[in-house]
Structure 1
Amino acid sequence: MADHFLPGPPVVPLTLRRSTQARRISLRISQLDGRVTLTLPRGVPEAEALDFAQTKESWIRSHLAARQGDVMVAPGAELPVEGVTRRIIAGPGRGVRLAADAIAVPEGQAARRLQSWLRELARDRLVGAADSYARALGRDYTRITLRDTRSRWGSCSSQGALMFSWRLVLAPPEVLRYVAAHEVAHLAEMNHSAAFWTVVERLHGPYEAPRHWLREQGAGLHRFRFSG
């Protein structure tokens, strides 16, 4: 891996990586951190990849400009909870209070309190959904863990252990339930075959809309920063 740049202003860092599976030069902009990555097949000179990036400069800059910036979680910021955007305000007491258009948290402890509260809410929603789908499927899972993962929204191990990103609770409820159905379906089909998607649809119902939402908007859930 080597780092290069598109000259500015502003300068745009480029990350070059080689892949034995690549058949042509490809370009990707991460929605999580804005990193621009060029993937090269074996034997293609770096200069050729940099020339390719130059031909795509307008596209790269327009996409970087459109990328939404990070949001530090604090009073005054806006945060989605189950798909509904609410303004964070300072509130009395030690608990978190959810209103139609606001979320009140103890002053000076907004990020820590909110992250803890959101994780508990996520666990409640995901356990409820997973239990419901597992009963419908007639299969049991062994445990559920929550993490703050960037590479995947959920997983199911061969031992039946389910893992989910707690940030799913920021998304609309049907998105969270789709991911729960997706991972529970792996208890029966440990693959992404046609049979697997038949199980997902049997558990969840039509799933294309929440799946599309996750592909198009899911990366935005990582914009919200709960620590410096």
Structure 2
Amino acid sequence: MADYQLSGNPPVPLTLRRSARARRISLRISSLDGRVTLTLPSGLPEETALAFAEEKADWIRANLEKHPEAVDAVFGAAIPVDGQDRVIAPAPGRRIQMDAGRIAVPGPNPGRPLQRYLKELARNRLAEASDFYAARLGRGYSRLTLRDTRSRWGSCTADGGLMYSWRLILAPPAVLRYVAAHEVAHLQEMNHSQAFWDTVECIHGRWQEQRAWLRENGASLHRYRFGE
């Protein structure tokens, strides 16, 4: 991949990706973070792809306006934890401290330490929820891993491994628990049949509201950047 910029104010970052299977230039804007990717055939000059992007500049900018603005995890910024906005502030001690409307982080650059803290908090909450629903189901899982996935909030492997997006800690607790119940239900039903949804409802209860929240608000959880 190669990174370029679309001219204008402000400039728009572009990612160029070559594909041996591509027959023409394709343009994609991520629904999660607004990343603009141009895919071009192997033999096509990069200048041709960039000229194509310039021709589509108005369309690109119009679509980017629909995406929520990125938020860097810096002092003074607000970030949701458990679905509640908390302002990032300097911590007087060596430990991260969180209360109703504030999260205090030690050191001059809060991004990376805050991300590590949130990942650990997510692991604890998701492990607790997974254990609870697995006990209700009467099935165990083999492992629990966290990732920063862009296309799904969780998954379950055939050998009982559960994977979750750590960004679920930013969502309301009920949403996190629903995702845990959803993946645990796959330990019994590796599909999305009616039997699967019956299993989700059996171990979790009504789930429609939480699923709708993710569909409407899930993409916004990817707007927060921690200096990765």
TM-score (norm 2): 0.78
**In structure 2, what is the equivalent of residue 105 of structure 1?**
105
Deviations 1:122-168 (A, max 9, x none): 11110110001000001110111111111211111000010111110
SS of aligned partner of 2:174: helix
Uncovered stretches (5+) of structure 2, i.e. residues with no partner: 1-5, 40-51
CA spacing shift, 1:93–1:16, aligned 2, 3 Å: closer
SS of aligned partner of 1:122: helix
The letter of the residue matching 1:176 is: L
**CA-atom RMSD, angstroms?**
3.3
Deviation, 1:31, is: 2.3
**In structure 2, what is the equivalent of residue 155 of structure 1?**
155
**In structure 1, what is the equivalent of residue 189 of structure 2?**
189
**In structure 1, what is the equivalent of residue 3 of structure 2?**
none
The letter of the residue matching 1:106 is: P
1:1-228 matches, cutoff 5 A? 29-35=29-35, 61-227=61-227
Uncovered stretches (5+) of structure 1, i.e. residues with no partner: 1-5, 21-25, 40-49
Deviation, 1:69, is: 1.8
The letter of the residue matching 1:121 is: L
Q: Distance in 2 between matches of 1:96 and 1:142?
A: 31
CA spacing shift, 1:11–1:116, aligned 2, 3 Å: closer
Query: Identity rate of aligned residues, in percent?
Result: 58
Q: Distance in 1 between matches of 2:36 and 2:107?
A: 38
Deviations 1:48-77 (A, max 9, x none): xx9xx98xx988654421311211111111
Native 8 Å contact 1:171 1:221 kept in 2: yes
How many equivalent pairs are there? 213
SS of aligned partner of 1:33: coil
TM-score (norm 1): 0.78
Q: Distance in 1 between matches of 2:30 and 2:196?
A: 29
Q: Distance in 1 between matches of 2:169 and 2:116?
A: 12
CA spacing shift, 1:193–1:153, aligned 2, 3 Å: same
Deviation, 1:117, is: 1.0
Q: Distance in 2 between matches of 1:113 and 1:10?
A: 30
SS of aligned partner of 2:89: strand
Deviation, 1:36, is: 5.9
The letter of the residue matching 2:114 is: L
Q: Distance in 2 between matches of 1:193 and 1:147?
A: 26
